[in-house]
């Protein structure tokens, strides 16, 4: 059965343990597995574990895995219980951290970075849909924000925890991440709720709605826009601008602060202005922030840009989900549409990861080019709104 496909009455127990389980899953599978790698890039290069181009390539492996996980998440949930699959994915991420403590070869690292990405994709598709049916309807917004907050906490945690671990060495850093993941997996093991009976899915028109297709396109372009700073921000500050390593870590901590604020702030914007208007506003803010990143070497400006840019990856998830709920009324249709949106996002995220890696090598480490491409993707996402805005003007005449 597909987890969370139907909308039924929530279970009677406290929802906080399931919410904690969802938060831990997103923290481990995305917050740490993906984002903790970014501040490790300079250390991996300086320690000569791999070449600079190989390190960037290995970072993109996680994005490719995320796509595979997003594609296969619902099939796994149909074969086994969502709770069992989610537990297995958390264990897989934990094992990947321990495996990466030993730089056997590029192929070895690639396999484990790919595996951690697969787990993250499955978690993104299944975690919220496994938890939210057990939460009272009036609390589902808060619960969804708490689950996605795990991504921001993972980013911020990687910025504060990694310097302490790196002081002990790279091997110890990977082992430390593995221990944190193991602790969180154990603490949430019994928090996953039992699956609720599925209700029949309505026929719906989610896949045929122009608004849904627009969302898929914008969500894909947002993925392209966020990958460049996600992969290169710390390396840009540390090696591109010649700042000391502590400054690079500080910038990443500020990125993490933004990531913590993002889900709540973006959710507020969606409630206040509507999801579609909030998406437009957020795109404008992100384009400006990327311009700040390219146009200034002042660390105060870069710090502000890092906070704004950091709010984007976890913040757009509840924003896009709110837009899905606006466009699709039946709950089975919402779940199917959200899965397709996640696949759209993951596809372009993976493609962008490898494209940025190739561009980084071809441009001989020209970071500004990467950030300008990211800004162009977000500008295109905003431009897709122009026809709708023009139609709105026509109807007001």
Q: What is the CATH number of the domain that holds 291?
A: 1.20.1250.20
- Distance separating alpha carbons of residues 101 and 110, to the nearest angstrom: 13
Residues 18 and 144 in one domain: yes
Residue 71 resides in a domain? yes
Residue 394 resides in a domain? no
Q: Which residue, of 159, 192, 225, is where some domain finishes?
A: 192
Residue 2 resides in a domain? no
Handedness of CA 206, 134, 30, 97 (dihedral sign): negative
Residues 209 and 334 in one domain: yes
Structural domain count of the chain: 2
Residues 176 and 207 in one domain: no
Residues 165 and 280 in one domain: no
Residues 34 and 72 in one domain: yes
DSSP states of 195-247 = PPPPPPPP---GGG-HHHHHHHHHHHHHHHHHHHHHHHHHHIIIIIS---HHH
Phi/psi of residue 2, nearest 5 degrees: -80, 125
Residue 97 resides in a domain? yes
Question: 249 and 162 in contact (C-beta within 8 Å)?
Answer: yes
Residues 160 and 69 in one domain: yes
- Distance separating alpha carbons of residues 287 and 308, to the nearest angstrom: 10
Q: Which residue, of 166, 192, 218, is where some domain finishes?
A: 192
CB count, 10 Å around CB of 363? 12
Question: Which strand (E) or helix (H) includes residue 264?
Answer: helix 245-273
Residues 285 and 373 in one domain: yes
Q: Which residue, of 164, 192, 220, is where some domain finishes?
A: 192
Residues 26 and 161 in one domain: yes
Residues 182 and 226 in one domain: no
**Helix 170-188 / helix 140-166 crossing angle, nearest 10 deg:** 150
Residues 185 and 308 in one domain: no
Residue 1 resides in a domain? no
Residues 148 and 217 in one domain: no
Residue 213 resides in a domain? yes
Residues 222 and 157 in one domain: no
Which domain, by its residues, includes 178?
14-192
Residue 141 resides in a domain? yes
Residue 219 resides in a domain? yes
> How high is the mean pLDDT in each 10-residue block of the chain (397 residues)?
39 72 90 81 79 78 85 82 90 94 86 92 84 69 74 79 82 91 93 65 53 91 90 82 77 86 82 86 94 86 92 86 81 77 84 84 83 94 81 49
pLDDT score recorded for residue 206: 44
pLDDT score recorded for residue 141: 61
């Amino acid at each position: 059965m597909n987890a969370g496909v139907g909308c039924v009455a929530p279970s009677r127990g406290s929802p906080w343990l399931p919410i904690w389980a969802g938060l831990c899953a997103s923290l481990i599978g995305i917050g740490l597995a993906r984002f903790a790698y970014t501040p490790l890039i300079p250390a991996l290069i300086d320690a000569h574990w791999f070449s600079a181009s190989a390190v960037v390539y290995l970072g993109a492996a996680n994005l490719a895995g995320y796509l595979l996980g997003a594609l296969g998440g619902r099939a796994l949930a149909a074969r086994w219980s969502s709770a069992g699959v989610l537990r297995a994915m958390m264990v897989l991420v934990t094992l990947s951290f321990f495996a990466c403590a030993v730089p056997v070869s590029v192929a070895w690292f690639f396999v484990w970075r790919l595996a951690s990405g697969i787990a993250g994709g499955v978690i993104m598709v299944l975690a919220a849909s496994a938890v939210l049916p057990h939460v009272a309807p009036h609390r589902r917004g808060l619960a969804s924000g708490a689950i996605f907050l795990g991504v921001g906490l993972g980013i911020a945690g990687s910025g504060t925890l990694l310097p302490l671990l790196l002081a002990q060495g790279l091997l110890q850093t990977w082992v430390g991440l593995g221990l944190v993941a193991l602790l969180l997996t154990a603490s949430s093991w019994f928090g996953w709720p039992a699956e609720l009976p599925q209700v029949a899915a309505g026929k719906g028109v989610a896949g045929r709605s122009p608004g849904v297709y627009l969302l898929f396109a914008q969500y894909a372009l947002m993925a392209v826009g966020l990958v460049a700073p996600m992969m290169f921000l710390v390396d840009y500050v540390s090696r591109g601008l010649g700042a000391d390593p502590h400054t690079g870590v500080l910038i990443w901590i500020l990125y993490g602060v933004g990531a913590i604020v993002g889900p709540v702030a973006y959710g507020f914007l969606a409630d206040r202005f509507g999801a579609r208007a909030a998406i437009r506003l957020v795109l404008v803010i992100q384009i400006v922030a990327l311009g700040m990143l390219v146009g200034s070497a002042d660390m105060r400006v870069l710090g502000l840009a890092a906070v704004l840019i950091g709010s984007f990856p976890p913040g757009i998830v509840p924003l896009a989900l709110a837009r899905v709920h606006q466009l699709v009324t039946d709950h089975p249709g919402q779940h199917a549409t959200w899965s397709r949106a996640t696949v759209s996002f993951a596809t372009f995220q993976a493609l962008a990861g490898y494209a940025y890696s190739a561009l980084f090598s071809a441009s001989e480490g020209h970071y500004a080019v990467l950030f300008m491409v990211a800004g162009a993707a977000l500008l295109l996402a905003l431009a897709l709104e122009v026809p709708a805005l023009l139609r709105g003007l026509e109807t007001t005449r």
